[in-house]
Amino acid sequence: MDTDLRDAAFRAAVWHVIEQRAKELKDAAKAELAQLEPGDTVAGRWNGQTVGKATMTKGRTKLAVVDEHAFINWLAGHHPTEIVSQPNPAFMRLLETRAKELGAPVDFNGEVIPGLELQDGPAYVSVRRDPEAPAIVAQLLSQARIGLDGIKALEEAS
């Protein structure tokens, strides 16, 4: 068997282990951040340098068909050409954009569209790294402060 392929398999396995452990540690940190209120942001720093920021982001608002029969009946009476085997996706996007602007699914004549409503998804934590984060993480790795067990000497972080 080709040594290069064995080396590639070894590297893939190592990165797979690191990826899985990193995901576990990231998910645990994000679970702690779940106590943030929507709109709150907190910066994560190491020795005064920002590594990244976590923000509790308001959930996405989307248009949902809650009564398909009522909505299809409305479409048939008002916009029959917008019915394909399902409502036309482009028309649904148009209705969703309009509903978000107006705060409710309202047609172009001011009528509330039956069977549709706006629904807010759950808030979620968004983490964005600072442009300097790779250099800071590389430094922490070289100092053996980051490992599969987590980040060592976190008390030094500011």
Region 110-138: mean pLDDT is 91
| DSSP H or E run through 62 | strand 61-65
Judged against a pLDDT cut of 70, whether residue 19 lies above it is answered with yes
Torsion of CA 61, 62, 63, 65, to 10 degrees: -120
For residue 50, the model assigns a pLDDT of: 94
For residue 155, the model assigns a pLDDT of: 46
Written as six digits, the tokens of 58 are: 């308001």
Residue 154: pLDDT band with limits 50, 70, 90: low
Report the Cα 110 to chain-centroid distance in Å. 33
Residue 158: pLDDT band with limits 50, 70, 90: very low
Instruction: Give the span between the Cα atoms of 53 and 127, in whole angstroms.
Output: 6
The CB density around residue 37, as the number of other CB atoms within 10 Å, is 8
